[in-house]
Amino acid sequence: MLPKSARFHLVGAIPLRSTPRSRFPAVPGATGAGCRGPARRIPARRDMAHATRTTAKAAKSRNPPGGPFPGIAHASGKGLWLTPRSAPKTVGQELSRHPRSSTRMSVTQQVLAEELAESAEAPSFLRTVDRRDVHRWAVSEVFLTGVARTPEGGYTAFAQLPPVHHYFTDQVLPQDTPDSILIMECCRQAATFIAHRGLSVPRDSAFHVTDWSLELTGRSRPAGTGRPGELTMLVTVVPSQVRGGVVRAARFVLELLVDGRPAGRCDVSARYSPAAEAEIVRRYHRRTAPPWSSALPPAPAGVPVPAGDVGRRDRANVVLADVRRLFRGVAARIAPPLDHGTHFDHPQDHYPAMILLEAARQAAVLARSPGARVTGYRSRFLRFAELDAPVRVAAAPRDDREVAVRFRQGGTLVSEIVVAAEEPAR
């Protein structure tokens, strides 16, 4: 028998604003305060089912589809809630008013009740979000596990860092910080989710990253722990362009914590365009429709860089080819496999920012050494990097800490990224 305070956690696992007692309809045969009908005990299963139906109706009336923050939990001092109203209560708290509404649970039900009660208090790292809201086809490529609206108007986002991944953890040397590209991907997913669910940017909109920076600080966790890391992102959103009541551009500032310890800061700005408008602009600049990655040969042309030279073990994760050593730095060409499970999780009509960031990381490592420790980026994305024309990469050290990387296509500057890459301590 569970204590009274935990008897109804099974139906009260999702915190909701309490429904006034007068709103409960009469239940034939129910007993207890606020219930009408003959004093006859009904089975607990019917009692719990009735409470679930009643609570669902109350939740729908308070947070209807298309509400102010659809699909986003709301945070207060007591946990995460489904509606923005204050002083919410759980269903269990509401039902605890009925002193005679008790039930006997099996061991399995007790375990389930405890898990659901835990999810009500800390739902941050239990399950991933809808993959469509982070622009992924494969659920295995989704790391974002939740987003909560804070009372101050910002957001708290949560992501689980996988201990093993075919790409993000493919590193020659053990790292005492999470992979910088993995952190960038988690920040991208958080900003994309908030754009859709918090700023109401339609899912079929084209996203254009314009500026993106990351700074990782300190040693956030020991290498080789064998367990997932927990990334918490404290997000401040500033809509920088609103047209006709629709957000067309925004900036996201994310303070990062890994396993509860400060880990750095990310700053990303993006523009949002309706799909039809984005297609017109692309055709205007190209004069032709851009090809999709799925329609091109998957194998990259040219001579790929040895995986170990760019700090990778798997050559499938190499995105550079035809490398030339220069007096100061290196020159290469972007050449990722177009069937890569992460880079091209779904068909693309250009090289996305995440590929350019990985190419910059690999070029910086080439300019330094395979053991170089990459801790940050400062990026500007000026034009689309097209799939059907060579994209040239040039990397040169600026000082002992930074490497400047530039991308050109057809002689035009496409992007420039400064990579913080330091030689390993000897």
Bridge partners (DSSP) listed for residue 254: 235, 266
How far apart, in Å, are the Cα atoms of 100 and each of 3, 114, 117? Answer: 13, 22, 21
Stretch among 13-27, 104-118, 220-234 having the lowest mean pLDDT: 13-27
Q: Token pair for residue 103?
A: 């039930």
Residue pLDDT, tens place only, 349-362 = 999 999 999 999 99
The whole-number pLDDT of residue 328 equals 85
Over residues 111-149, the pLDDT tens digits come to 555 554 544 444 578 899 999 999 999 999 999 999 999
CB 156 within 8 A of CB 75: yes
Q: Residue 105 has what pLDDT?
A: 53
Mean pLDDT for the chain overall: 77
Residue 66 makes CB contacts below 8 A (sequence gap 6+) with none
**Dihedral angle, C-alpha 37, 42, 44, 49, nearest 10 °:** -60
3-state secondary structure of 245: coil
Q: Angle at Cα 149 formed by Cα 148 and Cα 154, nearest 5°?
A: 120
Distance from C-alpha of 223 to C-alpha of 423, rounded to nearest angstrom: 18
Q: Residue 330 corresponds to which tokens in the numbers above? A: 């290196």
Domain borders along the chain are 4-120, 131-276, 295-422
DSSP, collapsed to helix, strand or coil, labels residue 426 as coil
Q: Do residues 414 and 393 make contact, with C-beta atoms less than 8 angstroms apart? A: no
What does the alpha-carbon distance between residue 185 and residue 272 come to, in Å, rounded to a whole number? 18
User: What's the whole-number mean pLDDT along residues 30-55?
Assistant: 44
Q: Which fold has domain 295-422?
A: Thiol Ester Dehydrase; Chain A (3.10.129)
> Which is higher by pLDDT, 149 or 221?
149
Please state which of the ranges 151-155, 265-269, 402-406 shows the lowest mean pLDDT. 151-155
What pLDDT is stored for residue 34 in this prediction?
A: 40
User: Which fold is adopted by the domain 131-276?
Assistant: Thiol Ester Dehydrase; Chain A (3.10.129)
Q: Do domains 131-276 and 295-422 have the same CATH topology?
A: yes
Q: In whole angstroms, how large is the CA radius of gyration of the chain?
A: 26
Query: Do 83 and 65 meet the contact criterion of CB atoms below 8 Å apart?
Result: no
